[in-house]
Amino acid sequence: MARKASGQEQLDWARARVSQAKTVEELRAAQAVLLPLELGLSMKQTALAIGRSVGATCTLRTRYIQVLNGRRPASRGKRNRAKASLEREAQILDEVLREAATGGVVIVPPLKPQVEAKLGQPLALSTLYQMLARHGWRKLAPAKRHVKADGAVQQDWKKNSAPS
């Protein structure tokens, strides 16, 4: 016979969270606490009801109760492994790219130390490229001709070259 579900002291809070949940994950976590206590469901039945595996349901329930009891901090609310919030990223890019915003050219590798200094932590070059893309900076197409190219010499070469 399975053991009784723990967390009786969180029952009222879980009831409130079921009706106030803003995301599916919040709802599932509250249901993982509520269903075994309220309806006496087993972990297998609870997992079936919320659409998760037994292990995932048990983990959801345990984490939820630990956060309520203060033994585990709540999630930080950042994107996965984000270096900064979107607002902070936008602020840093505004500070670093002032001259580029007026039509200047953005060369990314020299920007890296400036952004790292503002963030206070190391940053991969690919992360900087992703940050720029997130905030509307895009890679522009290359110029049609090289800056030092001589059009007259090119036309002369075209006229005098062997027919193909």
Summarised one tens digit per residue, pLDDT across range 135-153 is: 888 766 566 778 788 888 8
Summarised one tens digit per residue, pLDDT across range 54-105 is: 999 988 888 888 887 777 777 665 566 778 888 998 999 888 888 776 766 7
Distances in Å between the Cα of 84 and the Cα atoms of 24, 94, 139, 157 are 25, 14, 22, 54
**CB-based contact 18:31 (threshold 8 Å):** yes
First-residue to last-residue Cα distance in the chain: 87
pTM above 0.75, yes or no: no
Please give the domain boundaries of the chain with CATH numbers for all domains.
Answer: 8-69 (1.10.10), 86-134 (no CATH)
The pLDDT of residue 7 is above 70: no
